[in-house]
């Protein structure tokens, strides 16, 4: 006969396993979790709403129109560290938007790598910014930029990928390069947990007894010294605070975004063809040498396999280079004018190593 205590323990363990597979219920309409919509929005063809923000010169007077794609835990409120003088001089119109589920945009239960590009295209069309535009993707948001290069290259005037995400499932990545990369194992575990135990992940990032990955600010595991200095004066990652993560809709958006970025893609970026064979426009990758989130060695490999992409490397840069003084303007000048600061020009020897 099985002892009663063992039965109770078994039932308790089964209950914990069940809870680990469950997400919290979605917020009830009108609850404190709902965020009042104050930004302009468009209605997409599938009925979802996408919130956006316009900055820079008026679009009807712009020489260059750039769609900014924010990263993980960020929003359309991300900083644009370009002087008004440069914006006026070059005639730049910026269009920022909350990706699906972020900020004031509706979630997309069918989110995919491809849907990110289609959202961008529909946003551009409804706001009538023209047949060609630039895409500027940051960190995890760069998978939307890869998607644009794959699915809507005919709409691009150029593209910049700033510390773009590395998906370790891309077939072209050699095992010898990524086998010992601890970030690959972390990504695998995180993807498994997000898929099979979302409730456990939600508990871990919102509990207050032990430090968890929700505490990103000033964490040397993720950021170098320059990054930590940046976090002292910027908003950081507004959706990654414990207060925000308590909201089921926020957690589900982040989980969904992560799973798409690190899940199975239906294309390999390293097999993409040059969308600008006549060199009429350009594509750029910007990487920090000291980035602790995205490995510089893998980024170099990807760039070496795509010679039509211009690779730039910030010697003392971490993952937050887009917030460094002068870097945003350097990225813009390279994208729009073809200028390159000598400090960020990598030696050809690094690709031979």
Position 212 pLDDT exceeds 60: no
| Cα–Cα distance for residue pair 322/319, rounded to 1 Å | 8
The pTM of this model reads 0.86
No. of helices (H) and no. of strands (E), the chain: 13, 8
| Cα–Cα distance for residue pair 203/208, rounded to 1 Å | 10
Q: Per residue in 288-321, is it b (16+ CB within 10 Å) or e — as a string? A: bbbbbbbbbebbbbbbebbeebbbbbbeebbbbb
Concatenated DSSP letters of 186-255: HHHHHHHHHHH-HHHHHHHHH-SSS--TT--TT-TTT--HHHHHHHTTS---GGGSHHHHTSHHHHHHHH
Higher pLDDT, 350 or 267: 267
Domain-located, residue 148: yes
Residues 250, 129 share a domain: no
Q: Which helix (H) or strand (E) holds 67?
A: strand 64-69
Characterise 158 by phi-psi region: left (phi > 0), alpha (psi -120 to 50), beta (else): left
Domain-located, residue 343: yes
Residues 287, 214 share a domain: no
Portion of the chain with pLDDT greater than 90, in percent: 65
CATH number of the structural domain spanning residue 290: 3.40.50.1820
Domain-located, residue 270: no
Domain-located, residue 26: no
Residues 125, 248 share a domain: no
Residues 192, 145 share a domain: no
Give the number of domains in the chain: 2
Q: Which of 262, 292, 323 delimits the end of a domain?
A: 262
User: Which of the four pLDDT bands, split at 50, 70 and 90, describes residue 68?
Assistant: very high
Domain-located, residue 36: no
Q: Which helix (H) or strand (E) holds 156?
A: strand 156-162
Residues 231, 162 share a domain: no
Residues 284, 254 share a domain: no
Residues 304, 246 share a domain: no
SS (H, E, C) 290-315: CCCCCCHHHHHHHHHHCCCEEEEEEC
Residues 231, 183 share a domain: yes
User: By residue range, what is the domain housing residue 228?
Assistant: 176-262
What was the pLDDT predicted at 203?
Answer: 76
Position 213 pLDDT exceeds 60: no
Residues 307, 280 share a domain: yes
Token pair of 256, please? 């969904």
Least confident of 28-37, 68-77, 236-245, 277-286: 28-37
- Sign of the torsion angle spanned by Cα atoms 303, 309, 310, 312: negative
Residues 286, 137 share a domain: yes
What was the pLDDT predicted at 299?
Answer: 97
Residues 149, 281 share a domain: yes
Q: Which of 241, 262, 283 delimits the end of a domain?
A: 262
Q: Which of 202, 237, 262 delimits the end of a domain?
A: 262
Residues 71, 90 share a domain: yes
Domain-located, residue 6: no
């Amino acid at each position: 006969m099985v002892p009663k205590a063992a039965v109770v323990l078994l039932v308790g363990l089964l209950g914990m396993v069940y809870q680990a597979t469950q997400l919290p219920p979605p917020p009830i309409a009108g609850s404190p979790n709902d965020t009042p919509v104050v930004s302009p929005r468009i209605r997409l063809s599938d009925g979802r709403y996408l919130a956006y923000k316009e900055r820079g010169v008026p679009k009807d007077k712009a020489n260059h129109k750039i769609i900014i794609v924010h990263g993980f835990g960020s929003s359309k409120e991300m900083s644009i560290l370009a002087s008004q003088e440069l914006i006026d001089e070059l005639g730049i119109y910026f269009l920022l938007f909350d990706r699906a589920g972020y900020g004031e945009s509706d979630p997309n239960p069918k989110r995919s790598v491809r849907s990110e590009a289609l959202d961008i295209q529909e946003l551009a069309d409804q706001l009538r910014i023209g047949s060609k535009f630039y895409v500027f993707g940051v960190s995890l948001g760069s998978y939307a930029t890869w998607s644009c290069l794959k699915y809507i290259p005919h709409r691009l005037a150029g593209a910049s990928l700033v510390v773009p995400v590395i998906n370790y499932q891309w077939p072209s990545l050699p095992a010898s390069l990524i086998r010992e990369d601890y970030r690959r194992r972390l990504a695998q575990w995180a993807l498994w947990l997000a898929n099979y135990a979302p409730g456990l992940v939600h508990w871990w990032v919102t509990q207050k007894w032990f430090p968890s990955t929700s505490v990103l600010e000033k964490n040397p595991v993720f950021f170098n010294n320059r990054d930590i200095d940046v976090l002292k004066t910027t908003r950081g990652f507004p959706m990654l605070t414990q207060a925000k993560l308590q909201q089921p809709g926020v957690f589900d958006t982040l989980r969904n975004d992560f799973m798409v970025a690190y899940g199975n893609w239906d294309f390999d970026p390293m097999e993409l063809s040059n969308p600008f064979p006549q060199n009429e426009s350009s594509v750029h990758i910007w990487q920090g040498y000291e980035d602790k989130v995205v490995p510089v060695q893998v980024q170099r490999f990807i760039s070496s396999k795509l010679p039509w992409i211009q690779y730039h490397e910030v010697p003392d840069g971490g993952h937050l280079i887009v917030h460094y003084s002068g870097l945003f303007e350097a990225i813009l000048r390279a994208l729009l004018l073809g200028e390159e600061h000598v400090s960020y020009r990598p030696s050809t020897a690094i690709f031979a190593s």
